[in-house]
Structure formats: structure tokens, C-alpha cells
Amino acid sequence: MTTITLRRAETDAAPAAADRAAPFRTAAGGLVDRRRPLDFTFDGRAYTGLQGDTLASALLANGVRLVGRSFKYHRPRGILSAGSEEPNALVELRSGARREPNTRATVAELYQGLDAQSQNRWPSLALDALSVNALLSPVFAAGFYYKTFMWPASFWEKLYEPMIRRAAGLGRAAAEPDPDHYDKVHAHCDVLVIGGGPAGLAAALAAGRSGARVILVDEDFSLGGRLIAERREVGGRSGADWAATAEAELRGLPEVTVLTRTTLFGVYDHGAYGAVERVSDHLAVPAAHAPRQRLWRITARRAVLAAGAIERPHVFGGNDRPGVMLAGAVRTYLNRYGVLPGRRVAIFTSGDDGWRTLADVVAAGGEVAAVIDTRPSVPPALRREAEAAGARVIAGGYVAGTRGHLALKAVDVVDAYGSRETVACDCLAMANGWNPVVHLDSHLSRRPVWSEEIHAFVPGALPCGMEAAGAAAGRFGLADCLETGAKAGAGAASECGFTAAPEPAPATDPESHAHSPLWRVPKPRGKAFVDFQNDVAASDVELAHREGFRAVEHLKRYTTLGMATDQGKTSNLAGLSIMAELTGRAIPSVGTTVFRPPFTPVAIGAFAGHHRGKEFRATRHVPSHAWCEEQGAVFVETGLWLRPAYFPRAGERDWLETVNREVNTVRANVGICDVTTLGKIDIQGRDALAFIERVCANPFGTLPVGKARYAVLLREDGLVMDDGTIARLADTHYVMTASTANAAKVMQHLEFCRQWLWPEHDVQIVSVSEQWAQYAVAGPRARDTLRGVIDPGLDIGNAAFPFLACAEVTVGGGIPARLFRISFSGELAYELAVPAAYGDAAWRALMAAGAAHGITPYGSEALSVMRIEKGHAAGAEINGQTTARDLGLGGMLAKKKDYVGRLMKERPAMTDPERPILAGFRPVDRSARLRAGAHFLAVGASPSLAADEGYMTSVAFSPSLGHWIGIGLIRRGTERHGERVRAYDPVRGGDVEVEICSPVFVDPKEEKLRV
């Protein structure tokens, strides 16, 4: 073994005074900056760490072993790992609105002022009242809750469940809105390299040098992977140096993007990847205008999976005692962070790899008490090394149990002959082999395959375009990592059309990965944990087996193995191997659970990005919006639109008074309403009419140029899709309107009809909803008002421009406009369309022109009142459940043409005379208020579904009539005018007797319309 130490230039300086207080910090070495101490607190106690520490390494440096309590038994837990697989060391990071529960201390970068709390304990970490659960653990075996808490039934919600819920959960979420913001970015590349260890760096270099666009992502804040955690040699330099040089070269390549602190969390179809960059999590608060995190949606032509491997714990009694760690993690703390995880370390290994720990502990100034190797024979060279270090070697033995309470004091060892002894130590390093990270290649439903060679699952058939390299492919040797990485990177770039050839891999120091895993020790002393976080012990796997939960998914769900925040990264294989042993099967025939995204948990805020609060969805403003705001209009959300609902004036007591005044003014004088939100579709071409005939249920053959007509569209199932108007501006030129809510749907439907159903038609359609501002001008003085706005030349007198006339006109001295004499209010009314850019000006001009005639602006409320007074169907009636006949439109449907919905509307249930049909309703007691959503019942009938005769769809207070009115759907409604029924509304305590009447309440003879 060479005597490399990891260091950076600046670390050669004398250690900062403040850090001398950290009792477990090594004298020198590591990638921490000893000149930059950082103060932090854990559970309110102040400590000091160094720049480059994680919270975990800083805690260990300060001798803090106990960092958490387990989920079920509240057992004391310490730090197991040095990476994102950590199951134990979960803390609440930060406080107040920024509190982040379940943060893994092993990946939380230390910053000045970091504030962390342990979680799931009360009153304190050392004295946790619920640790009594550990005494009850014989009761709390896997699945016990399915067998009890059943009596009495009402106690579940009242007593048992609240108790369980309070005890469960881990940390406490922030109760307040997240004060930080999140960003999203789309990126495209030729080669995506996942992981910045030796294989990933080699891959990125090989691909990057070819000129390919490369994105390299790594979850860590420093690149290098195991190169910065082990004392290794690459090309005659330290591995850390080689990694730093590689990183510098990559950052210098113009087509290469290096993203650290970035976790590639999911693989999706067709080369789409999700990654999250922790932009500001290493700071106390994000810099001004900087996001906390950024979601990367990466589209890559090829990907190299170089995500490394995760070390496996041993399953033995008390293996969760604080101080028991993964051997690789012990080395990471020693070499990268300059921290001794213990002063007297015992090593429990099943392979040569664990032995690396010995030299590292010694080099860092620690002592190795013993090396317990489960293999009966240990290579002589290793044995000599142990002897030189003064460490005992116990070959063919195992650790059966641990001693100590809140921290490890000793391990009970059984040797090859079965004799037991106790070895004092304050840290146990476990090495039971490594599992390639097969999570990401499983996201597209690929199953990993078992490798007998390395006793682990390795990637099976990889997703299209992905190749695995290095440890992620089960090639653990450093030379293999460099070689397979370079090959995969060059291969990926070549497949993207770049000229790339891997350069020969640099030489590395020798190593051995010989190992023979021990899946669990034969006779554990105490609980032997498989899943640390969820407190699943080997005995729980046995119980699952006994109770028939032997399928891998059953095992997982019955015991909760692998369902904690680490998703079984350190536990899945242990669980499988025990089940394999119990069922007498080989591990691969037990199966694998399917790994699901995300690879590590991702903040919900990152997925949402800026889409929150008012920016959740885009806001569309009508062209008159600025004017409406000036006037103090009250707005209402209508889909994405923000529409003026009404325009209160000083002295008006409530919305109803305002709306009444607006309605009355329209009916008496004139009003103006912004109806731009309607969909507007331009239809042109030789076959425009033929096309319209197919999509509309009523006939259009007789519509002359210069006229508009009401249009009904059905869905192919015969129910009404939408209604609107179609105006014929020229021989082969029509303009159609669709309702605000259905504008996009209708456009899509028309394109479907045009492109797919009747492609032979010579017709083009385009949405011009955005291009035209459109205003309804309604009331007896509407014509007078319009005359003040449209350019002279067009006679809009009643004779020349009657009801349903339309024309292209100009306004404001030559600005093109369109005028339609159509009415939703039942008054003499027009809709004037002007190019959207002139919308604001036209609105102001109309208001000015109408001033002399008493004009009022009116909003969506008054619009709705007037359409209900006229019995026009709108969204509440055209709700996807009604036929044209239900809405009283049956008579207008065409007989002699095919159109969408023609046949299906004739099905028996659609033409059943008992179907509820549109009618009007007025309260018998005229002072009573009506409510939409009330159901109709015969007077005297007791409420039941059988007695249900229909329901009220829309209601309004009619200022014209002086009482509430409603329209609704009721059985045989047209035949029952004058009959009384109940409008029954129990959810609002309403029960009003109403009289069925015509749905047209105002001007039934349409006299006002045609003057």
C-alpha cells in the first residue's frame, strides 16, 4: 500500500485554532479547508467544523456518535455511511419556514451557522421516552397492526390511529410556505454522464474531447467519487489529483457542462432524464434572486451510467449501534474529511476490500483492534499487514453482537471454532461487498441480473442509448473503472457521429476485490437489522416467510423493508438473501423489487418550479383590462382568463346592487361587455361550407354572405359539445365563435375533422382568438353608440343591417373591424371586433361614444343574468351530459346531412321522453332565493334518488322581474309549465317551492332584438 494522503494546497497551512477543539480531526490531510472553520449547532449545542465537511463528518470530528432515533423502536442510531444511501443519520436541517426534515447528514454540506436538530425523539436524543418501544419489540413484529386494533371499531380513528400517527413519521415539516424559489431548465446533449467518479470522469473526458456536447452530473459537491475517498494512485499521481486535473480539463471544454451537487434522479422514456441541482443548499440562505434548487430536464442521445456502487452492511446482532459503519464510509471520513470515526477500530469484512481500512486508520493515527474476516483463509500479505499494525486477525469468524448503549464500546466475536470473545472498540467497519447502483437503469422497467462473480445484481438489458461503466457495471477495480468509462464515453460520442477513441487508461496501484459475502451471521446476539431506518430485522424476514409473504414484493410490503427514505439502498439485497436462504432458492430466483424514481428524494418545490402562487398558471387579460382596472372592476378567474365580473360604483352596497344597475342600464340604455374570451376561428376555402355542414348539427346551406347564424356542435356520441355563431363574411370565408371554456377544445376538434375525418375538403382553419378584440354593445341605444365609433359609409339601420347581419367595417378612420348583429342579452345588440392591438382604444372610444346615451360597462355577472333571463344555455347546461333536445335545441337539427354526432344522438336513452329537459323556474314565494345545484322533487315527496326529477342549472336575481329566477333540467319540463315542484338543496339548507315556466323570462316575442 502506498502512503498517499489526500490534501489540497491550502490544507498544508497550520490548522486553524478553532478546529483544534474537534477531538476526532486528524492532524493533517483530507479535502477539508483547515483555514476555514465553520460554526454550527446540533440539538442546540455549538460545534465547529471545516469548509468541505458534511454535517456528518463535522459531527464525527466532534465525537458526536448518536445522531438519531429509529422509526419504530426508537433505538439510538449513528452514522452508517458517507453518502446518499444513509438510512440513519437523518436530521431536521434549518428552522422556521426553511425547516427540512429527514435531511441526510452525510450529504448535507456544512455552512457557517448551520442549525440541525435530531428528530423522532422526546424529550431528547439521549433520553427518548418512546425508546420503551424497543422493550415492546417482541409485540411490534412485522405486520402486527393487521392483527389487532380492531376492537372496538370506533377506537381506530379516535385512539389507535392518532397514537400511531404521532409516533410515526420522522421529522417535522415546516408549517409555513416555502420562502425560497425554484428554477427549471431544459438541456439537450449528445452524451449524458451520470456520476463523476473515475468511470464517469473517464467517460466525460473521452466524449468531451471528441467535441460532443456532454453533460456530467454528480450528486456530490466534489467530483472524484471513490478517488477522493480512498488513497489511490492514478498515472503516478494521487487519485484526487487525477480527478482534479480531469475536472479542470472538462470545465475547459466548451461543449462540456459539469454539474456538481446535481442528482440524476430519474430516467424517462426516449432519452429524457430528470436531475435536480442543489444550487444554494450549501448556503445558509440562497443569494438574492438565486433559486434554492434547479430542476434539469435533460434530453440526451446517449447516456453513460457511472453511478458507482453502494457498500453492503453485515446483518448481525446490534448492527445498528452508533459506531458501526460501512468500511468504505470509515475510509471516506479518514481520507476525505480528515476525521477519525473512532480511535480504536475493528474491521468486519468478507473480502479483501475491507482490509484497505486497516492502513487508512493507521495512517490517520488511529488504532485497529482486530480484523474479523468471515473467510477461513486470509491472504498472507494482508495478515502480515495486520500484524505490523498490531491488529489481531480473526479469520473465519464473525461479529455476533455489539456492546454499549448510545455508542459502541465493544463487539462480541465468534471465531472459526465457535469460541466467543469480546473486542473493545469504538468503531466497527463493515465490509460485505458492494452493490452496483442499478436503480437508474431499472426506471424503465428493466430488471437487473445476478452476477455470481461479484455476488450482486448488475444492470441487465439497459434502456436504449444507455451504457453502464465502472462500478455501476460491476467492474469495481479502479483500472476497470477508468477503462470501461473511457470506452463507454468514446462509444457514446461515436454513436452520435463524433470521432472518438478512448486513450489508454492510466496505470493504477494494484488492488483485489476478492470477496465472499456473508448474508447474515449464524447466531446473532440481539436484533440483527436488515433495514435500519424502518427497523426491519432478520427476524421480521423470518416472520414474513412463516406467514407466507415470500414473494419479494410481499416481503417488502409486509415488513416495510426498503420503503424508508433510503428506499432500501443498503437493505434490499440483505432481505432477499435471507428470504433466499429460508426458501431454499437462489437469490435471483427470489427476484428483485423494482426500483422507482427518484434515486434520492427530491424536493417537491423543485418539480413545481415557478408554478406556484399567482404564477401557478398563466393569466390571460382581456384587451380592456387596463381600463377595467382603472375603473376598479372586480375580476373573476374564468379558466386562464381574468374577466371583469362587475364594475362597482361608489355608494353601491354589494355586488348585487351593482349587477342590477348594470342589467337595468343595458335593458334601458346601453352597455358594453368585453367578450374577447370567446374562441374565434377563421374558416376559408372552396369547401368551407361543406366542412361547416359536417361539424355543425344545424344546417348552414342557406346562410347568405353578410349573415350570421347560431351554431350547435355535437360530439360524436351525440351530446352537445359547444355552441356559438358562424358568420359568413364572403363566399368562401366564415368566422366561427366558440365558448370561452371550450375554445381550445373546439379548435382541436375542428382540426381533427379537417385533417382526419374529411381530409378531402379544400379548407383551411386558423384560430384568431388572440388577434381580435371583441365587444358586445347591447341595449336600445346600442346603434346610436356604434354610430359614434364606426366609420361612416355602412348603413347600420335596422333595415339595412337587421338582426343577424354581419359585415366588415372600419373604425377610427380606416382600422379594419367586423360588426355582427348578434345578441346574448336579448337586446338590440352588436358585437364589434377590432384587431387586438386596437382593443384598448376601441373600448375607450365606445365608452366615449356611449356617454351621451348613458352607457355602462358590464361584466360577466350581468352578462350571465341577462342570458338566464333569456333562457340561453351556457356552461352549466352544456356540461357534456346534455343533448340538443335536452336544451330545447332539438328542433333546429338538420335532417338531410351527415354531421358529427348524428347517429349516436338517436340512441333510445338519448331520446327518452322522460329525460330532464330545459325549463324555467320561479319561486312561488317571490322573495325566496334560488340556488343552482338544487334538485327537483314533487311537492310532498320524500327525498330519494327515485324521486329526483332533475336539477337547477343556473340562477340569477332578475332586476327586470324583481325576483330570483332559474333555469334547469326537469323531467318532461316543457309539458309542465305552471306546475309546482320543490327545489331541494339540503347541502345549503334550502328547500324552495318553485313554479315551472318557460325558460325565456324577458321579451319572449323577441321584439327588443329586432328593432
Partner 1 sequence: MRYSVFSVLGQALRGQRDWKPHWRDVAPRTEYDVVIVGGGGHGLATAYYLAKEHGITNVAVLEKSHVGSGNVGRNTTIVRSNYGLAGNIPFYEHAMKLWEGLEADINYNAMVSQRGVLNLFHSDAQRDAYARRGNAMRMAGVDGELLDREGVRAMVPFIDFDNARFPVKGGLLQRRGGTVRHDAVAWGYARAADERGVDIVQNCAVTGIRRENGRVTGVETSRGFIRAGKVGISVAGSSSLLAGMVDMRLPIESHVLQAFVSEGVKPLIDCVMTFGAGHFYVSQSDKGGLVFGGDIDGYNSYAQRGNLATIEDVMEGGMALWPGLGRLRLLRHWGGIMDMSMDGSPIIDRTDIGGLYLNAGWCYGGFKATPAAGFCFAHTIARDEPHPVSAAYRLDRFATGHLIDEKGMGAQPNLH
Partner 2 sequence: MRIRCPHCGERDNGEFSYLGDAAPVRPDGMEAEAAAMHDYVYLRDNPAGAIRELWYHGAGCRGWLVVTRDTRTHAISDVAPARDVALARRKGEAA
Among 471, 511, 507, 504, residue whose Cα is nearest residue 490: 504
Among residues 745 and 963, whose Cβ is nearest to partner 2? Answer: 745
Q: Minimum CB separation from partner 2 for residue 853, in Å?
A: 42
Name which of partner 1, partner 2, none residue 898 binds, using a CB cut-off of 5 to 8 Å depending on partner kind.
Answer: partner 2
Q: Identify what 403 binds: partner 2, partner 1, none; CB under 5 to 8 Å per kind.
A: none
Burial of 784 (0-12, 13-18, 19+ CB in 10 A): middle
Binding mask 701-740 for partner 2 (x = CB under 8 A): ---------------xx-----------------------
Whichever of 621 and 715 has its CB closer to partner 2, that residue is 715
Q: Does 377 bind partner 2 (CB under 8 A)?
A: no
Which parts of 350-494 are beta strand (E)?
A: 367-373, 392-395, 398-403, 410-414, 420-424, 427-431, 434-436, 449-451, 456-458, 466-468
Residue 144 vs 522, nearer CB to partner 1: 144
What is the rounded end-to-end Cα distance, in angstroms, of the chain?
103
Instruction: Decide: is 166 part of the binding site for partner 2 (CB under 8 A).
Output: no
* Under rule CB under 8 A, residue 961 binds partner 2: no
CB 84 within 8 A of CB 107: yes
Q: Which is nearer to partner 1, 249 or 542 (CB)?
A: 542
Closest to 36 (Cα-Cα) out of 116, 112, 113: 112
C-alpha cell at 282: 450549501
Residue 498 and residue 190 in contact, taking contact as beta carbons nearer than 8 Å: yes
Contact 667, 683 (CB under 8 A): no
Say how far apart CA 632 and CA 675 lie, in whole Å.
19
Near partner 2 by CB under 8 A: residue from 268, 607, 655, 957: 268
From the centroid of its chain, how far is CA 938? 49
Q: Among partner 1, partner 2, none, what binds residue 756 when CB lies within 5 to 8 Å by partner kind?
A: partner 2
- Compute the least distance from the CB of residue 394 to partner 2, in Å: 51
Q: In angstroms, rounded to a whole number, what is the distance separating the alpha carbons of residues 282 and 252?
A: 24
Among residues 8, 585, 902, 931, which is the contact residue for partner 2, using CB under 8 A?
902
Instruction: Using the minimum distance from each CB to partner 2, give the nearer residue, 617 or 907.
Output: 907
Block residue for cell numbers 480531526:
25
Binding pattern for the stretch 476-505 against partner 2, x by CB under 8 A and - elsewhere? ------------------------------
Q: Nearer to partner 1 by C-beta: 62 or 567? A: 567
Q: How far is the CB of 84 from partner 1 (least distance, A)?
A: 12
- 185 lines the binding site for partner 2 (CB under 8 A): no
> Out of partner 1, partner 2, none, which partner does residue 597 contact, by CB within 5 to 8 A per kind?
partner 1
Kindly tell me which of 294 and 487 has the beta carbon lying closer to partner 2.
294
Smallest separation, CB 446 to partner 2 (Å): 10
Task: Tell the smallest beta-carbon distance from residue 835 to partner 1 (Å).
Answer: 29
Residue 759's binding partner among partner 1, partner 2, none (Cβ under 5 to 8 angstroms by kind) is partner 2
Q: What's the closest the beta carbon of residue 185 comes to partner 2, in angstroms?
A: 13
Query: Three-class SS of residue 139?
Result: coil
| Contact pattern from residue 760 through residue 789 relative to partner 2, giving x for each residue in contact according to CB under 8 A and a dash for the rest | x-----------------------------
Read off φ and ψ for residue 360, nearest 5 degrees. Answer: -65, -40
User: Which residue type sits at 332?
Assistant: T
Q: Distance between CA atoms of 843 and 846, rounded to whole angstroms?
A: 5
Cα→Cα distances 850→534, 776, 795, 818, 841, Å: 73, 13, 18, 19, 14
Applying CB under 8 A, the span of 265-273, 329-337, 420-428, 959-967 interacting with partner 2 comes to: 265-273
Helix (H, G, I), strand (E, B) or coil at 881: coil
DSSP state of 508: B
Task: Kindly tell me which residue out of 13, 752, 816, 926 binds partner 2, with binding defined by CB under 8 A.
Answer: 752
Q: Which is nearer to partner 1, 637 or 795 (CB)?
A: 637
Cell numbers describing residue 403: 456492546
- Is 126 or 464 the residue whose CB approaches partner 2 more closely? 464
Contacts of 755-764 with CB under 8 Å at 24 or more apart are 757/694, 757/900, 758/690, 758/691, 758/694, 760/687, 761/685, 761/687, 761/690, 761/691, 762/685, 762/686, 762/687, 763/683, 763/684, 763/685, 763/686, 763/687, 763/688, 763/690, 763/691, 764/683, 764/684, 764/685
- Of 269 and 925, CB closest to partner 2: 269
Q: Toward partner 1, which CB reaches closer, 249 or 547?
A: 547
Cis peptide before 459 (omega within 30 of 0): no
Interface residues with partner 2 (CB under 8 A)? 268-272, 297, 299, 464, 716-717, 744, 747-748, 751-752, 754-757, 759-760, 897-899, 902-904, 906-907
